[in-house]
Structure 1
């Protein structure tokens, strides 16, 4: 994982898994294709660590490209890139300094709740294999068939899938105002429907929304701690960090670590 903070919701485990798989493949010249390396790294998380994670974190570690956002189809495992090329914007992560100790167990619970929702929808439409096959109208029409908690999870996932598609269109148009609004919408869903946020994350997002030059903010990672991701005008970054850090220190008695990031290429060989 290099200098990726552990327990900050930045997928340090996926970085270790992907990096180790890549290194062994390179050193011993096994000739394993990149997608197979991704699958091996995911298996390590699923079968050894015991987290039933998807493939996104390992995928981006291997297939990441500089100045591009990667959209993955987790069914076909196809992918496409969308541009993130605004030189006047910066990505700033704010670490709550709260370890996301609940994230792994709660992830497994959320996955089970979503799978229960799919089974309920399949009674009415056998073509639905996962929540990506449903739309919000279908979910709402069967609201009374769901346990309340399952309804909330399904509503979030279906809405987030739609939001992701629109966000990619925003990036293609270089429309970061619209993209930022979808970030806030995503956080609201994670907070209210998927229920994986925490007071510290919510506070950081709320404070960010009040700062000049901030386009969008949301939690990232598994939740229950970890980091927020913020898109900010480059000349407002120092002021943003100062304001957010001061407000957070006053509220929670600790200073959030901050990381100014760029989007770079995925796992590779350093010369």
Structure 2
């Protein structure tokens, strides 16, 4: 029986820019969600990781992991594609709540699988549209397009330089040579993450309304004095972060890893001070890493208020640094972080 596998993603840089028509630089990783699909007389969703089985007769929001699956089925129907009830078995080695987009991986794995099972003839861009529609309109998280796009278009040994305004993209070779990218999971997820995420979107929309502009691509630094303090900081982050993405692409192409690392540290400061989506735990990890030999850069990834830190390190250094970090973090927060080694990976595909 075939299974359908979609990867999580790590965004090297370009945080909270994807829903603002900005630039991002993600890559798909070797941590994934896998679904097995069988036709059924009712909807049956089983998750190995959640240790739960849910049976439904109709489209229903339950405020839990099943909403991402039912959202995909709902989105397909809204877009005019006919499916039938299915039994879906979900397995995953992708950490939940670590800022690695487990939700988009789940959506895209199911959308791809239903496309195969029911011969819907969806192309790659339509798969992205289905995943985004499911999350925005059924689940209720006003996400950008980056996560679903990466889950579909990911390419091993490459990052994706994506313009979320036009969906034009370029594969950038991810040739790190004597360096590596890894994650430190804070093992923290604050409850306000979803509500504050939507609030940041509303604040960015308020920037556009205040300036009378239709897209953040029309916003300039000269516009910033026209905004109040909070909106000015939000807009400044988006403008600065877009510049950092372009610089990071150049740094990767030229193997300028010191520059790439400094951009990661700058991004974290901006996310902490201007966009205000960091937290004590992630700030502590980044601050600790900044003083360590062999660490070139680090920043929080994902929506914020917990989750993981992306680290750019010289090969051979991270293990020892993490041991010292773990000890210090445990003393301060009474919990342990996790080190997650990652490799780049391809986008969604079928596995036998």
Residue 187 of structure 2: aligned partner: 97
1:237 aligns with 2:318: yes
2:277 maps to 196
**Contact 1:96/1:201 (<8 A) preserved:** yes
The answer to whether the aligner puts 1:5 opposite 2:89 as a matched pair is: no
Q: CA RMSD in A?
A: 1.3
Report deviation, 1:198: 0.2
Matched, 1:131 2:213: no
Within 2, Cα distance between the matches of 1:132 and 1:199? 32
Partner deviation per Cα, 1:172-227 (whole Å, 9 max, x = no partner): 11111101111111101100000000010000001111111111100000000111
1: CA distance, partners of 2:178 / 2:346: 20
Question: 1:21 touches 1:40 (CA, 8 Å); kept in 2?
Answer: yes
Between the aligned partners of 1:202 and 1:166, the Cα distance in structure 2 is 23
Does residue 214 (structure 1) correspond to residue 295 (structure 2)? The answer is: yes
Cα shift readout 1:119-148 (whole Å, capped 9, x = no counterpart)? 2222xxxxx422222232x233xx1x3221
Question: 2:56: which partner in 1?
Answer: none
Contact residue 7 and residue 100 of structure 1 kept, 8 A: no
Contact 2:175 2:252 in 1 (8 A): no
| 1:154 pairs with one of 235, 244, 247 | 235
The total of aligned residue pairs comes to 262
Q: Does 1:15 align with 2:105?
A: yes
Task: Please report how far the alpha carbon of residue 240 of structure 1 lies from its aligned counterpart in structure 2 after TM superposition.
Answer: 1.9
Task: Measure the CA separation in 2 of the matches of 1:269 and 1:83.
Answer: 24
The match for 2:154 among 64, 67, 84 is 64
Task: Give yes or no for the alignment of 1:44 onto 2:125.
Answer: no
Tell me, in whole angstroms, the C-alpha distance in 2 between the residues paired with 1:15 and 1:177.
31
1:86 to 147, 160, 176: 176
Distance of 2:105 and 2:190 partners within structure 1 = 17
CA distance in 2, matches of 1:134, 1:162: 13
2:327 matched residue in structure 1: 246
Q: TM-score, normalised by structure 2?
A: 0.72
For the 8 Å contact 1:100–1:222, the answer to whether it is kept is no
In 2, Cα distance between the equivalents of 1:54 and 1:44?
Answer: 12
Q: Within 2, Cα distance between the matches of 1:245 and 1:47?
A: 39
Q: Hey, what does 1:76 align to over in structure 2?
A: 166
Structure with the bigger percentage of strand: 2
State the alpha-carbon separation in 2 of the partners of residues 100 and 39 from structure 1: 29
> For residues 129 and 54 of structure 1, what CA distance do their matches in structure 2 show?
16
C-alpha separation between the residues in 1 aligned to 2:342 and 2:210? Answer: 42
1:101 offset after TM fit, Å?
Answer: 2.6
Task: Report if the CA contact (8 A) 1:14-1:57 is conserved.
Answer: yes
- Residues 63-117 of structure 1: per-residue CA shift (max 9 Å, x gap): 1111111121112111111121124222221111111432221111111111111
SS for the counterpart of 1:72 is strand
Unpaired segments ≥5 residues, structure 1: 123-127
Bigger Cα Rg = 2
For 2:123 and 2:343, locate their aligned partners in 1 and report how far apart those are by CA, in whole Å: 26
Q: What is the TM-score with the length of structure 1 in the denominator?
A: 0.93
Query: As a proportion of its length, which structure holds more helix?
Result: 1
- Secondary structure in structure 2 of the residue aligned to 1:269: strand
Structure 2's unaligned 5+ residue stretches are: 1-32, 34-91
